[in-house]
Amino acid sequence: MDEGYTTTDGRKIGGVVMEMKNITLRFGGVVAIKDISFDIREGEIRAIIGPNGAGKSSMLNVMSGFYVPQEGEVWFHGKPRPQMKPYQVAQQGIARTFQNIALFEGMSVLDNVMTGRLTQMKSGLFAQAIWKGKAEAEETENREFAEKIIDFLEIQAIRKTPVARLPYGLKKRVELARALAAEPKLLLLDEPMAGMNVEEKEDMSRFILDVNDEFGTTIALIEHDMGVVMDLSDRVVVMDYGQKIGDGTPDDIRNNQAVIDAYLGVSHD
Amino acid sequence: MSDQFLFGIEVVINGLMAGVLYALVALGFVLIYKASGIFNYAQGVMALFAAMTLVGVMNGQVPFAHLINSILGTDVHHFGWHIPAVIAILMTMAVMILLAWAVQQLVMRHLVNQEPIILFMATIGLAYFLEGFSDLMWGSEIKKLDVGLPQGGSFWIEEMTAGLGGEGFYGFFIDRLDIVATVIAILLVVALMLFSNYTKEGRALRAVADDHQAALSVGVSLNFIWVLVWSVAGFVALVAGIMWGTKSGVQFSLSLIALKALPVLMLGGFTSIPGAIVGGLIIGVGEKLFEFLLGPALGGATENWFAYVLALVFLVFRPQGLFGDKIIERV
């Protein structure tokens, strides 16, 4: 399986982008993640699911550099990643969203999306101060890309609105736009559908699929809602109490006894 | 027009000019507060330190001369050269950037995620440290600062306006330094606005001000931004230091102008750059006009307390200031 595989709907999945190797994360005496390994392949939608408190968000925070695991290694593009700060991880091309939306509330939607372009901007302060040639061209180019993302996610109508005034569902979408603006090699979504109604969930699912389809973005997402995950993802990791209890295609997972037990409970008699 | 009325106008104009200087100090506070939520008590001392350093560099003074002499038994005081103002200003700016970096690395970095009151206490500590440090580095005597800015009343304006009034009116007296200060303040504010709205560092700075976590996730280094903010505040302190130093000499009471910036901030709001300007102008004009109109009836010297009383009134009726963010937490 080293050279990838073909999904049931005929998409070609490439080589390994990120690999988690024997990750263990502890908070004092609490073990949040216990010796978990899995990989994420180029172009796939990889889901991490599990009941509340299973350690899914912790795992995402390890991937994005917000948490540093006590044991194990994160491999990115075939090399072990040295310990780095979250902003350095972002500069490597890993964008993320947050479970409790973290947007720049005081800025407009467009400005928020433009911050996603920060990692793409190279001109020095001095060049920008003189504001000629390269810096100007760069700003225009980045602006065009931001507008493209805004169109893509159908938020043109609110481009100039301060984010603080938007309803929850739209904020989630703006956060996705900001992450996409960075042209990430790997996009991490922390419960993109949490707290949404059915219609909003359908919209968000459509956008996630479109993003994957249109930009070929590799996506890892955490979700609660089993139904959504099964429809969206190519492969699923299931976590429970910090341990990995399943890994495979949605069909494999559906028939996995350990997973069924974790979600429905087991009788102890 | 009656002479009394014309005199009133002159008072207002001079008030505006004084207000600009208050606004300059207040600006430094707003910058740091917006970006890091820290109320930097040391802003006034930073202006003092910048002005002292500038004078020292210009006159070729040996830093820490007293310390060196008492330890090594030497008798050095001056390098014996004079450095042109422009180069000295650039060198002072380099020192302010170094200071910004040191403050971030040695103090603020270790206090990330602490309560605002703890950060505030840290800046009080910084203020006292920096005051002593300036003393040790450059000595405590009052120094004259002259970077070549025009000073004294503008005869041109006086002559132009002398004809407006009667016998007893000799035209408006306006200090040319105040006019220069106004122009520089306007340029400074425009530059800051351009910086924060149109450069990537400015955008990153606004991002950090808004949400640390989100800023990290789009690849912004908090450490870098905070050094940048303290550097910009150092730059504003340098400009304020030059203006105040030229006006009234470089002396330790300069650090007390920071206290005058407090009512300005309460009026304008702690988070608004235009607020700092408007607040400064209102305080400047207000205290001059109040002294002019009611000063004699109240026994004079109202300028000492007027600003604080005005700030108190604002605290009661509009605590977020004229332009500040309204503090509403949705539940």
SS3 content of chain B, % helix, strand, coil (to 5): 75, 0, 25
pTM here is: 0.81
Q: A84-88, A110-114, B23-27, B88-92: lowest mean pLDDT where?
A: B23-27
Looking at CATH, the fold of the domain delimited by A1-93+184-269 is given as Rossmann fold (3.40.50)
pLDDT at B234: 92
Structure tokens at A17: 């982008």
- Report DSSP letters for B206-274, one per residue: HHHHH-HHHHHHTT--HHHHHHHHHHHHHHHHHHHHHHHHHHH-B-GGGGGHHHHHHHHHHHH-TT-HH
Is the model's pLDDT at A267 over the cut of 70?
A: no
B217 → closest Cβ in A90, A131, A139: A90
CA distance A38 to A53: 19
Smallest Cβ–Cβ distance between A107 and the set B206, B219, B221 belongs to B206
pLDDT in tens, B247-278: 888 888 877 777 788 889 888 888 888 888 88
Burial of B67 (C-beta count, 10 Å sphere; 0-12/13-18/19+): exposed
Give the minimum alpha-carbon distance from B299 to chain A in angstroms, rounded to a whole number.
Answer: 47
For the cut 70, the answer to whether the pLDDT of residue B329 exceeds it is no
- Tell me if A42 sits within 8 A of A13, measured CB to CB: yes
For the cut 90, the answer to whether the pLDDT of residue B318 exceeds it is no
Token pair in block for residue A246: 């399943």
**Six token digits for residue A92:** 């490597």
Q: How confident is the model at residue B122 (pLDDT cuts 50, 70, 90)?
A: very high
Of A8 and A213, the one with more pLDDT: A213
Read off the pLDDT of residues A56-81 as tens digits, 9 standing for 90 and up.
Answer: 999 999 999 999 999 999 999 888 99
Which of A100, A104, A120 is best to mutate for the B interface (most B CBs within 10 A)? A104
pLDDT at B31: 81
Give the Cα separation of A115 and B203 in Å (integer): 7
Q: Is B176 on the interface with A (CB under 8 A)?
A: no
Phi, psi angles (nearest 5°) of residue A249: -70, 160
Residues of A in contact with B213 (CB under 8 A): 66, 98, 102
Chain B: residue nearest A119 by CA? B219
- Please list every residue in chain A whose beta carbon sits closer than 8 Å to the beta carbon of residue B206: 104, 106-107, 111
Task: Report residue A87 as tokens.
Answer: 């902003």
Q: In chain B, pLDDT over 90 holds for what percent of residues?
A: 19
**Residues whose CB falls within 8 Å of the CB of residue B295, separated by 6 or more in sequence, listed in order:** B301, B302
Summarize pLDDT for A223-243 with one digit per residue, the tens: 877 788 888 899 999 998 899
pLDDT given for residue A36 in this prediction: 93
B210 near A CB under 8 A: yes
Contact between chains at A87 and B221 (C-beta distance less than 8 A): yes
- The pLDDT of residue A20 is 93
Of A102, A103, A118, the CB nearest to B204: A118
Please check the confidence at residue B99 and state whether its pLDDT lies above 90.
Answer: yes
Tell whether B218 is within 8 A of chain A (Cβ): yes
User: Of A177, A178, A217, which is closest to residue B213 (Cα–Cα)?
Assistant: A178
Q: What is the CA radius of gyration of chain A?
A: 19
Residue scoring higher pLDDT (B176 or A183): A183
pLDDT at A226: 79
- pLDDT of A269 over the 70 cut: no
Mean pLDDT of chain B: 84
Nearest CB among A115, A121, A123 relative to B207 is that of A115
Each residue of B202-233: pLDDT tens digit?
888 888 888 888 898 888 988 888 899 899 98
- A87 has a chain B CB within 8 A of its CB: yes
CA nearest to B208 within chain A: A104
Query: Which residue among B199, B210, B218 sits closest to A178, beta carbon to beta carbon?
Result: B218
| Pairwise CA distance, residues B226 & A41, whole Å | 37
Residues in chain B: 331
Q: Look at A87 and B222 and tell me if their CB atoms are within 8 Å.
A: yes
Tokens 């099964």 belong to residue? A230
Contact B216 A90 (CB under 8 A): yes
Helices (H), chain A: 56-63, 86-91, 109-115, 125-130, 134-152, 168-181, 198-215, 226-232, 250-254, 257-264
Across the interface, do B218 and A116 touch by the CB < 8 Å criterion? yes
Report residue B111's pLDDT band, with 50, 70 and 90 as the boundaries. confident
Look at A111 and B206 and tell me if their CB atoms are within 8 Å: yes
Task: Tell which of B109, B193, B212, B218 to mutate to test the A interface (max A CBs under 10 Å).
Answer: B218
Q: Would you list the domain boundaries of chain A? A: 1-93+184-269, 108-183
Q: Is the pLDDT of residue B324 over 80?
A: no
B199: closest CA of chain A, how far (Å): 6
What's the pLDDT at B1? 59
Mean pLDDT of A167-194: 92
Q: What is the mean pLDDT of chain A?
A: 87
Is any Cβ of chain B less than 8 angstroms from the Cβ of A179? Answer: yes
What CA–CA distance (Å, rounded) separates B75 from B62? 11
Q: What distance in Å separates the CA atoms of residue B323 and residue B43, rounded to the nearest whole number?
A: 21
- pLDDT for res A131: 60
Write out pLDDT tens, residues B80-96.
Answer: 778 888 999 999 999 99
Secondary structure element (H or E) that encloses residue A41, with its range:
strand A30-41
- Is residue A171 within 8 A of residue A195, CB to CB? The reply is no
B210–A107 CB contact, under 8 Å: yes
Q: Nearest 5 degrees, angle CA B218-CA B219-CA B225?
A: 110
Q: Output the CA torsion sign for A26, A27, A30, A32.
A: negative
What percentage of residues in chain A have a pLDDT greater than 70? 94
Sorted by where each starts, the structural domains of chain B and their CATH numbers stand as 3-317 (1.10.3470)
CB atoms within 10 A of CB B170: 12
**Integer Cα distance of A164 and B206 in angstroms:** 15
